[in-house]
Amino acid sequence: MTRSTVVACVLVLVAAMAVVVGQTNPQIGTWTMNIARSTFSTGTGFKSATSRIEAVGGGVRHTLDTVYADGTSRKYEYITMYDGKDMPVIGNSPYGDTTAITHVDANTTRTVYKNKGTVTVIQISVVSIDGKTRTVTTTGTNPVGQTVNNVSVYDRTPSVAASCESLAGLVLKDTAITSARVVPAGQFLPPGSQETRGAANAYKGLQEFCRVAATLTPSGDSDIKVEVWLPTANWNGKFQAVGNGGWAGVISYSAMADAVRTGYATASTDTGHTGSGGAFALGHPEKLIDFAWRSEHEMTVKAKAIVNRFYGTGPRLSYWNGCSTGGRQGLKEAQQFPDDFDGIIAGDPANRTALAMWIAHAVKESGSYIPPTKYPVIHQAVLDACDALDGLKDGLIDDPTRCAFDPAALLCKDGDGPSCLTGPQVAAAKKIYSPVVNPRTGKLLSSPLVPGTELGWGDDAGPQPNANILDQYRFIVFKDPAWDWKTFDFDRDATRGDMPENLVMNATNPDMTPFFSRGGKLLLYHGWSDPRVPTLDLIQYYGRVVETMGGSSRASNSVRMFLAPGMGHCGGGEGPNVFDKIDALEQWVEHGRPPDRIVASHLAGGRVDRTRPLCPYPQVAKYNGTGSIDDAANFVCGVR
């Protein structure tokens, strides 16, 4: 074998090791060259070849073991980065002194090799959808001047899988696995619940799975509980992490069950504490960090290691699925840990703002308080004023920003009454519809609730502010459980509340370039009738993301937002609010088909009574003029 042939062969083999680091990187693993299926412009020269790729620190280690046709063997090992920048090769690589790697999409990488600053070889490595094979195309000129035009095919070498019970002995950093056992089909019950005679078990149809419980301690004050569920049969090869709500403090068992039903391995965390309020954070800054973002990331890293040990291979794709706090968690993952997930579903992201205080102060005086019995009256007046603005009277407000409803239309003419508003109540309703601003500087602190949200005002417009936000100010901002919310000042206190150390949980950074550049997809959604998290805040955030990416034409293949008329907080409401978000994300990530419409359903009495397409913003669903207005088939998506 000549030296030029050896070098050319090495160029082909190293293509199999050009990867992007990340827990979800499908190219990481052990690969064996399929000599019979590979073609080389300079001859094979190989009897066998094995490539091992593993994540290490900020890069990937490439180890190549080869046996040549003449019986000699060699081993090459080096480390390279994945940020697209030229990085020096460490070790005895014979094909160049630098390498630069970029991610084309979830399953494809592009590597540029240089020698003394001159490009030598460009390689495209594509992992099949099922994760079992990798095809590498190599073109360029090798270091001895030969033209290279090769196609090499690698087969993934399966790792040895583990039994469920043996996972109890798995050793992971900062992790204590407390339980690992198989749950028979239909036998799961959440902790603390009891099966009673005649009661419906929501988990009755759940398939058999391996249930792993663990405690994570990334800091000295951490006590993060996580669970990982692994289908014992018909695993789809993917991982789905599910988000939380409110202050968390509990595992999201229902969402985990939904993931397992569709073949996913899944995980959830209690975010590092028990209980539904924010008192845990008082005097415990590390626990606040765990809640804010660390528990989700640590859960993801450890869950993937458990998946890899149980199945003998890691997940080929990983998704996040969450709404409210879970929506915020998903955005935080994309912003801070771009390699954790290939696709993220983030609904109604619940960032902490002063909106709840604004609403509570609007109704805090006895005369301005609006009793819940009047919410339907206000809501009906809003529909009467704005329902038909989109040309269709269907009980829904297609775009509440076009609705100029004035609560003064309901002003009582002769004292108070059940179907009208007093003067102070009119003023309170107007304030609820008004942006939250600093009275001294005029700075926008939060978007308002929009017309159409009235049926859910009770969460914020009751005798006390929204409990989640009240705890935010009591335990995070003022660090005083006895703090009186009625003393809140929208200049002094709002400024204090917006200090970075008080908003460590918020996910407002619009620059997610690292996530998008590696092929990550972000699906945003929000209900227009959400009475807890203002839809307008997400619209503004989406606009900043698009601007950061260079405009809608560049952004549309990476991020899309869907607004649901009449849908409440994460679901429910008068409008269609049940839709398959996971399928839309799968089609986008796995088949390159961005969602151009998602059909949503509304149920009454357990039966579908209306379907309607949700459209990528700024498009809306437009009736085509024929057929039932309750059938999505009679609507098209378009810009108004």
Q: Which residues pair with 63 in a beta bridge?
A: 52, 77
Q: How far apart are CA 114 and CA 112, in angstroms?
A: 7
Q: How far apart are CA 495 and CA 37, in angstroms?
A: 65
Q: How far apart are CA 30 and CA 65, in angstroms?
A: 11
273 is catalytic: no
Packed helices 325-336 and 295-311: angle between N→C axes, nearest 10 degrees: 80
534 Rama class: left (phi>0) / alpha (psi -120 to 50) / beta: beta
CA 313 to chain centre: 23
Q: What is the DSSP letter of 392?
A: -
Q: How far apart are CA 605 and CA 295, in angstroms?
A: 38
569 is catalytic: yes
Question: Which of 284, 361, 569, 602 is an active site residue?
Answer: 569
* Both structure tokens of 12: 């082909």
CA 135 to chain centre: 29
Report how far apart, in Å, the C-alpha atoms of 353 and of each of 55, 325, 335, 532 are: 38, 13, 19, 11
Is the peptide bond prior to 94 cis by the omega test (within 30 degrees of 0)?
no
Long-range contacts of 105-113 (CB under 8 A, 24+ apart): 105/519, 105/592, 106/24, 106/26, 106/317, 106/342, 106/518, 106/519, 106/520, 106/589, 106/590, 107/26, 108/519, 109/18, 109/19, 109/20, 109/27, 110/18, 111/15, 111/18, 113/11, 113/14, 113/140
The 10 Å Cβ neighbour count of residue 566 is 24
Question: Which of 324, 368, 529, 558 is an active site residue?
Answer: 324
* Both structure tokens of 251: 């595992």
Cβ partners under 8 Å of residue 58, min gap 6:
21, 81
3-state secondary structure of 187: coil
Q: How far apart are CA 216 and CA 286, in angstroms?
A: 13
493 is catalytic: no
Q: How far apart are CA 563 and CA 569, in angstroms?
A: 12
Sheet arrangement for strand 46-56:
73-80, 59-68, 46-56, 29-33, 147-156, 133-141, 118-127, 108-115, 98-105, 87-88
* Both structure tokens of 156: 């993934």
What is the secondary structure of 571-588 as a DSSP string? S-BSS--B--HHHHHHHH
Nearest CA among 537, 529, 526 for reference residue 436: 537
Q: How far apart are CA 22 and CA 388, in angstroms?
A: 49
Q: How far apart are CA 375 and CA 423, in angstroms?
A: 16
Report how far apart, in Å, the C-alpha atoms of 411 and of each of 267, 377, 378, 408, 421 are: 51, 12, 11, 5, 5
The 10 Å Cβ neighbour count of residue 478 is 19
AA letter at 114: K
Q: Do the strands 343-347 and 317-323 form a parallel or antiparallel pair, or are they unpaired? A: parallel
The 10 Å Cβ neighbour count of residue 502 is 18
Question: Which of 223, 493, 530, 537 is an active site residue?
Answer: 530
Residues designated as active site: 324, 530, 569
